Structure 1
């Protein structure tokens, strides 16, 4: 079945959104399970660490293969692999044999498949839609991610009480099938191979993405900026925030789910604005300006907040600007990088930006356990 323009992108976007919701439900349920089993933030933070490390290491190789082979096939195989990982966890849980280290292994394997799926999705979208629609398409992707943030905590919390964690994982597996089905019914536009990448040695192609970025000062400066942003975000939002909410609320899972849902609401609204508007004309202003506003709103309010209403306001205020900054940044790269090398360049970009996230998790876990969490408990310094 052949489609063109935004129709093919919208169909794929829908399937990926459904899959995102399923994956987020499983991760939320297993995050709570991990915290209940261990009671320490480091164990939770390590889930993220083991997910991101393979992504960083495998991305350069994935980028080469994305430029050599059909990006649709790569996305299908990545979705299939992620589904198999969930099936493995489901079997272990039903046998009563699931342990924390199993989750670390599963996250690592899933990270490998994500290293293929994410840059393939971004590179493929460049050839599907007109240049003027890049910002809107990015807004739609942010809406999908936000939908998973909103729906996953609520659905996972409800389903865990009704059908237990294994029921959540079974639903997750069904969502993978939806994503794969949408990919099976479309064809991606062909990408011209301007440099005959498929005939070059793998070692040469592994360097292409990095060399392309280093040779262009504007892209290199933008990348360095987002490397720093990702490190700070990993320490604050990804690793410390969940345990901070649990510590200040006395382990209230509803409070944590509400805050994560609020983060999703803000991102959904921001994604909606971006999908309709397309972002500012000068995308660099959006990439940097909205980043500053997001951190200022979120970090300040979370730092002074002691109650759920304040946390919800902080979550919505900070996450609203995230789709705007991500969309602006992504559009810059899609415009500046030729389609035939986007797999390698986007993989290199993703690897370098993402490398700071596991580092942030490693820093944040011990800080949360030894400093922040004790300080936030009743009678603590804060």
Structure 2
């Protein structure tokens, strides 16, 4: 893939060890979903785990990116990783004391989300400094590859370790993988700082305004961000409803949920290989729109009307196989367009605008499934048109909700495809 692997040696080392750490974190996240839903039976309470992670991220990103541009990138990443590990270790101690409560996890997720708010823009700038420009698409494909591989492995390992030793064992493995990544970054990966313009250093609020101003003067990027915010609203509502539907319709079968999530990972894995191997498209914006339209017009409807694990797996494949291609093209557009010395603050503004819909979607999805769609379907008689389409009993309301999400996703893609078509890439 790389003509001279030495050119990307530092990034490949960073990518591989951070991917290992992400595997540990993903296992913990999967186990927490199981622990919360099996204990509460509530889609909303389970979705609150993600809400607490994303809320600080969305609220503080616009300021954290400006700070990230001012701070040393490697030191920022190390401090944020260490703080996140400390909160995970606190959860481990609570489990050992048999004192872990849902609100503890909400607080821990919120603190981790806050650390990720600062770390993410620093990591993006670090990657830009370590990767030669001609390798942007290939390295983005590798990032998607590792994310997809983790999506396959994490649910299986999490379910196995959770069944074997509970949350404590899962968190212990998470801490081991963190240690490997932390030591590697600290001692073996030099990260150069991007050059800074001379003159007076801008204040925090001036830096924020500069990031927003850059987006304002680049309308194509701004419209892409707003488009993806709409997609994230639908996707996060999907994520809130999926465990409720699969676990409810399979009698709380954790393996079934793991299989569906594994298919998501397998499809993403294949898609990441495709994204890494394909040449640059004539229009990256068109490639993004087509990938998202295919995803939104297939997966949610298959999940809504399919009543078994094979159908849900087919929907997962359709929904995720082209997402890495979308991500790779978006990554190239952003990384090659935004000046390196401004990437932290611009990425942060982008994060606030693009991801603020995620906690909204999780909250809305969980609340609508619990309070609207499940009670509505519980009142339908067996043999009615709706029960024929979506089934009966607990989980049928979540299935109906997926049909609504399918319509919403297609509408968002259609509107923004027409809008973006008027812009030149």
Shorter-normalised TM range: over 0.9
Structure-2 change in CA distance of 1:109 and 1:279 (3 Å): farther
Cα distance between partner residues in 1 of 2:77 and 2:275 = 25
| Cα shift at 1:226 | 0.9
Out of 359-368 and 338-347, give the one that drifted further: 359-368
Alignment of 1:177-256 (within 5 A): 177-184=179-186, 185-194=188-197, 199-236=201-238, 238-256=239-257
| Cα shift at 1:27 | 1.0
Out of 147-156 and 121-130, give the one that drifted further: 121-130
Task: Give 1:287's aligned residue.
Answer: 288
Question: For 1:259-312, what per-residue CA distance to the aligned partner results, in whole angstroms no more than 9, with x for missing partners?
Answer: 111101111111122223365242112221111111122122112111101111
Question: For 1:163-188, what per-residue CA distance to the aligned partner results, in whole angstroms no more than 9, with x for missing partners?
Answer: 22101101100111111122121111
Question: For 1:4-55, what per-residue CA distance to the aligned partner results, in whole angstroms no more than 9, with x for missing partners?
Answer: 6321111100011101110011111111111122111110011111110000
| Cα shift at 1:195 | 5.7
Cα distance between partner residues in 1 of 2:77 and 2:59 = 19
Cα distance between partner residues in 1 of 2:363 and 2:57 = 16
Task: Give 1:329's aligned residue.
Answer: 330
Task: Give 2:417's aligned residue.
Answer: none
Paired residue for 1:159, among 158, 161, 176?
161
Q: Structure 1: where are the runs of 5+ without partners? A: none
Structure-2 change in CA distance of 1:70 and 1:276 (3 Å): farther
| Cα shift at 1:217 | 1.2
Q: Is the 8 A contact 1:210 1:345 kept in 2?
A: yes
Structure-2 change in CA distance of 1:91 and 1:279 (3 Å): farther
Structure-2 change in CA distance of 1:58 and 1:278 (3 Å): farther
| Cα shift at 1:161 | 2.1
Task: Give 2:365's aligned residue.
Answer: 364
Cα distance between partner residues in 1 of 2:256 and 2:36 = 17
Q: Name the SS of the counterpart of 2:166 in structure 1.
A: helix
| 1:148 equivalent in alignment to 2:150 | yes
Cα distance between partner residues in 2 of 1:371 and 1:305 = 21
Q: Is the 8 A contact 1:231 1:360 kept in 2?
A: yes
Q: Is the 8 A contact 2:38 2:252 kept in 1?
A: no
Cα distance between partner residues in 1 of 2:210 and 2:79 = 24
Alignment of 1:98-117 (within 5 A): 98-117=100-119
Q: Is the 8 A contact 2:73 2:193 kept in 1?
A: no
Q: Is the 8 A contact 1:134 1:278 kept in 2?
A: no
| 1:346 equivalent in alignment to 2:360 | no
Task: Give 1:299's aligned residue.
Answer: 300
Structure-2 change in CA distance of 1:224 and 1:366 (3 Å): same
Structure-2 change in CA distance of 1:349 and 1:24 (3 Å): same
Pairs aligned (count): 378
Cα distance between partner residues in 2 of 1:194 and 1:334 = 19
| 1:83 equivalent in alignment to 2:81 | no
Cα distance between partner residues in 2 of 1:210 and 1:88 = 37
Q: Structure 2: where are the runs of 5+ without partners? A: 378-389, 401-425
Cα distance between partner residues in 1 of 2:6 and 2:211 = 28
| 1:378 equivalent in alignment to 2:392 | yes
Q: Is the 8 A contact 1:51 1:110 kept in 2?
A: yes
Cα distance between partner residues in 2 of 1:144 and 1:60 = 27
Task: Give 1:10's aligned residue.
Answer: 12
Q: Name the SS of the counterpart of 1:241 in structure 2.
A: helix
Q: Name the SS of the counterpart of 2:264 in structure 1.
A: helix
Q: Is the 8 A contact 2:77 2:119 kept in 1?
A: yes
Tell me the TM-score normalized by structure 2: 0.85
Alignment of 1:63-78 (within 5 A): 63-78=65-80
Q: Name the SS of the counterpart of 1:23 in structure 2.
A: helix
Cα distance between partner residues in 1 of 2:7 and 2:211 = 27
Cα RMSD of the aligned pairs, angstroms, is 1.8
Cα distance between partner residues in 1 of 2:39 and 2:66 = 40
| Cα shift at 1:207 | 2.1
Q: Is the 8 A contact 1:212 1:345 kept in 2?
A: yes
| 1:95 equivalent in alignment to 2:97 | yes
